């Protein structure tokens, strides 16, 4: 009797495998344990007057969570891999005093390597007005760079304008970078509601008080949209290099608003692998030394490929990229986009 039960159990197990097999195959291949991800990194010299040797793959260490990962490839962005799309964004709320600096910007464009595609756009009312689409014609780009209008609209947010740009930027296998001339002030969300901190005692009721409800105060911290702009830029492998310039209006004269604006621009630069160029909240005397440094960055960028472990779904994952190479500092995004497991095909 016991042998009979064992035989039935075995037969049942075989039948289960026969029935379950096609169903499992219909769900596709097993999820990969690792997946190739790509990132553009910059080798920034600690001392520009010192020797600046090119990076080797062995010089790079990648930390993902608790894991230390070696690169699969480290490809210099040179020669046939030097393709670059550079969008110049200028905030139309800027003061006209930035005009002299725009000459430096035009000279920078003229000196860019042959084949670099450059576009020009102006930020206003949470959107982008493109004055020149991507082109390799330097003269067209220079003509498209004009003085900002120096006026306010109903909703000025450089962060929402940047989000609009990145969302509409077709994905291509090239470096995609932004020079963003702005004060970083979010005039759209310049005031935030908060519970009132003041209260008035109620007559005849000890320990009880009436509050004054919700009160609007000046923005207490960096714009919430700076985080969204940073995340979508990292999601699409877009590197942002802001240049601080003062804007118009009361906010443009407020040390509090200007400091928050500079902090928002710096946040996006740091998190996307760029750098924010500023002299505090003062108007830069010249853009030239900063643009010269930016050109050196473009000349020392690499395509980094490594194996990341996918999570349960598509997501940005924290990575920390370091090097022990002499006189080198890596500028890289704080997060990389890692696709999740492939989804099962529906019948």
Which tokens in the block code for residue 147? 């003085």
Q: 6-10, 66-70, 138-142, 167-171: which has the highest mean pLDDT?
A: 138-142
Token output for 126 = 């949470």
Mean pLDDT for the stretch of residues 141-170: 94
346 in any annotated domain: no
Of the candidates 241, 232, 117, the one whose C-alpha atom is nearest the C-alpha of residue 174 is 117
With cut-offs at 50, 70 and 90, classify the pLDDT of residue 86. Answer: very high
Task: Write down the pLDDT at residue 32.
Answer: 61
What was the pLDDT predicted at 319?
94
Is 29 domain-assigned?
no
Backbone conformation region of residue 184, classed left if phi is above 0, alpha if psi is from -120 to 50, else beta? left
Is 131 among the domain residues?
yes
| pLDDT exceeds 70 at position 111 | yes
pLDDT at 242: 98
What is the pLDDT, as a whole number, of residue 144? 98
Cα distances from 34 to residues 8, 41, 106, 307, 339, in angstroms, run 41, 21, 44, 6, 10
Percentage of the chain lying above the pLDDT 70 cut: 80
CA distance 118 to 288: 18
Considering the chain, what percentage of its residues have pLDDT values greater than 90?
64
pTM of the full predicted structure? 0.84
Of 69, 79, 83, 80, give the one whose Cα is nearest residue 40: 83
Residue 149 phi/psi, 5° resolution?
-70, -25
Give the CATH number, domain containing residue 123: 3.40.50.410
Res 58: pLDDT: 93
Q: Which residue has the higher pLDDT, 303 or 250?
A: 303
Neighbours of 45 (CB within 10 A): 17
Q: According to the model, what pLDDT value does residue 168 have? A: 95
Give the per-residue pLDDT at 14.
36
- Look at residue 195 and tell me if it is in a domain: no
Q: Is residue 231 in a domain?
A: yes
In a domain? residue 60: no
Residue 140's domain comprises 81-189+221-302
Q: How many domains does the chain have?
A: 1
Is the residue at 212 inside a domain? no
Question: Could you tell me which residue, 231 or 11, shows the higher pLDDT?
Answer: 231
Say what the pLDDT of residue 172 is: 86
- Predicted pLDDT at 140: 98
β-partners of residue 90 are 122, 181
- Does any domain span residue 106? yes
Q: What is the average pLDDT across 104-128?
A: 96
């Amino acid at each position: 009797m016991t042998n009979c039960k064992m035989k039935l159990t075995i037969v049942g197990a075989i039948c289960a495998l026969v029935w379950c097999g096609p169903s499992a195959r219909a769900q596709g291949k097993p999820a990969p344990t690792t997946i190739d991800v790509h990132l553009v990194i910059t080798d920034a010299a600690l001392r520009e007057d010192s020797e600046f040797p090119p990076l080797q793959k062995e010089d790079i260490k990648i930390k993902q969570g608790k894991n230390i990962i070696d690169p699969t490839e480290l490809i210099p962005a040179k020669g046939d891999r030097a393709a670059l799309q550079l969008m110049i964004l200028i905030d139309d709320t800027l003061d006209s005093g930035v005009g002299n600096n725009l000459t430096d910007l035009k000279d920078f464009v003229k000196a860019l390597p042959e084949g670099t595609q450059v576009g020009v756009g102006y930020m206003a009312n949470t959107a982008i007005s493109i004055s020149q689409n991507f082109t390799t014609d330097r003269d067209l780009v220079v003509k498209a760079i004009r003085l900002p209008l120096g006026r306010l609209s109903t909703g000025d947010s450089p962060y929402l304008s940047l989000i609009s740009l990145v969302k509409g930027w077709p994905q291509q296998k090239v470096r995609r970078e932004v020079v963003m001339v702005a004060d970083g002030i979010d005039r759209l969300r310049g005031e935030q509601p908060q519970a009132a901190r003041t209260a008035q005692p109620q007559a005849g009721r000890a320990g009880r008080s009436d509050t004054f409800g919700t009160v609007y105060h000046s923005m207490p911290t960096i714009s919430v949209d700076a985080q969204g702009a940073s995340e979508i830029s990292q999601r699409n492998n877009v590197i942002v290099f802001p240049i601080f310039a003062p804007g118009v209006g009361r906010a443009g004269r407020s040390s509090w608003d200007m400091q928050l604006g500079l902090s928002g621009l710096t946040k996006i630069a740091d998190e996307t692998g760029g750098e924010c160029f500023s002299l505090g909240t003062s108007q830069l005397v010249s853009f030239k030394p900063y643009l010269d440094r930016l050109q050196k960055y473009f000349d020392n960028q690499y395509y980094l490929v490594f194996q990341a472990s996918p999570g349960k779904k598509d997501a940005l994952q924290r990575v920390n990229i370091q090097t022990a190479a002499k006189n080198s500092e890596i500028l890289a995004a704080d997060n990389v986009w890692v696709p999740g497991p492939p989804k099962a095909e529906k019948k």
